């Protein structure tokens, strides 16, 4: 489903080239639960951004569902993002002036889904994530866990095939973090491919497949056999 062939991403820092990713080859199947671990600066986030089409590789090709998406234009990439990819961020990235319900509705508005259907979907999502009584609260009136739940609801509102999470628990306490992880893992059971960047080995080990990165390369790719 996700296929990286010889993908490199080189940034120019001043007049120096810095390779964030070096000739990465990677193949992820639909429905996998993958964690990407490694020290900071190892290229985890760059890899995630490339998968999410927020960034373009300097060289190499990226196929998503068999389609070469590296050559697509900005507008087409936006469409792919809208239809297939959901993001969950460490800092939630909710729009502060919009209520929880409106934040969840945002991807649906951008995709041009009719208002009646939007409302229906938002109500269902709010219920699923236990936010029904928080629908009209703005982000600054929500706790960290609630904010991340809103963010997850928003990421799943378009029923994406791939969910990308960049340190989703990084800004939460232990208990809330666990709660959020459980939510994400439930989604995976519904057939969503979950890709999570973390530097916390405890969290990373929950994934069925673990990628370790160092200096822009994947140094180990291990699978967990037994389920916990």
Q: Which residues are at the interface with another protein (CB under 8 A)?
A: 49, 52, 54-55, 74-75, 78-79, 81-83, 85, 87, 89, 91, 93, 95-98, 106-107, 109-112, 115, 154, 158
E-assigned strand segments in the chain: 2-13, 16-28, 33-37, 59-64, 67-68, 85-88, 162-166, 193-197, 209-214, 217-223
Sign of CA dihedral 204, 207, 208, 213: negative
Q: Which of 75/175 has CB closer to another protein?
A: 75
Q: Among residues 51, 45, 43, which one has the least CA distance to residue 22? A: 43
Closest distance of CB 47 from another protein, Å: 12
Closest distance of CB 70 from another protein, Å: 16
Please answer whether residues 37 and 205 qualify as being in contact, where contact means their C-beta atoms are separated by less than 8 angstroms: no
> What single string gives the DSSP state of each residue in 155-183?
HHTT--SEEEEESTTTTS-HHHHHHHHHH
Closest distance of CB 87 from another protein, Å: 5
Q: Which of 45/210 has CB closer to another protein?
A: 45
Closest distance of CB 171 from another protein, Å: 9
Q: Which of 171/205 has CB closer to another protein?
A: 171
Q: Which of 29/117 has CB closer to another protein?
A: 117
Please answer whether residues 198 and 227 qualify as being in contact, where contact means their C-beta atoms are separated by less than 8 angstroms: no
Q: Which helix (H) or strand (E) holds 80?
A: helix 74-84
Closest distance of CB 10 from another protein, Å: 14
Q: Which of 47/184 has CB closer to another protein?
A: 47
């Amino acid at each position: 489903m996700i296929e990286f062939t010889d993908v490199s991403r080189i940034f120019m820092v001043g007049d120096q080239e810095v390779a964030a990713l070096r000739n990465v080859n990677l193949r992820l199947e639909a429905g996998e639960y993958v964690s990407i671990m490694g020290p900071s600066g190892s290229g985890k986030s760059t890899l995630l951004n490339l998968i999410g089409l927020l960034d373009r590789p300097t060289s190499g090709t990226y196929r998503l569902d068999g389609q070469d998406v590296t050559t697509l234009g900005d507008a087409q990439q936006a469409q792919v993002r809208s239809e297939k990819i959901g993001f969950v961020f460490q800092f939630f990235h909710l729009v502060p002036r919009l209520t929880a319900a409106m934040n969840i509705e945002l991807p649906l508005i951008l995709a041009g889904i009719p208002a009646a259907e939007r409302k229906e979907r938002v109500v269902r999502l709010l219920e699923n994530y236990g936010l029904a009584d928080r629908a009209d609260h703005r982000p600054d009136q929500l706790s960290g866990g609630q904010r991340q739940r809103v963010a997850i609801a928003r990421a799943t509102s378009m029923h994406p095939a791939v969910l990308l999470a960049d340190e989703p628990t990084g800004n939460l306490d232990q208990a809330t973090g666990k709660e959020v992880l459980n939510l994400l893992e439930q989604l995976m059971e519904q057939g969503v491919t979950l890709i999570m960047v973390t530097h916390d080995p405890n969290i990373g080990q929950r994934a069925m497949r673990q990628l370790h990165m160092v200096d822009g390369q994947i140094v180990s790719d291990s699978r967990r056999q037994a389920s916990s």
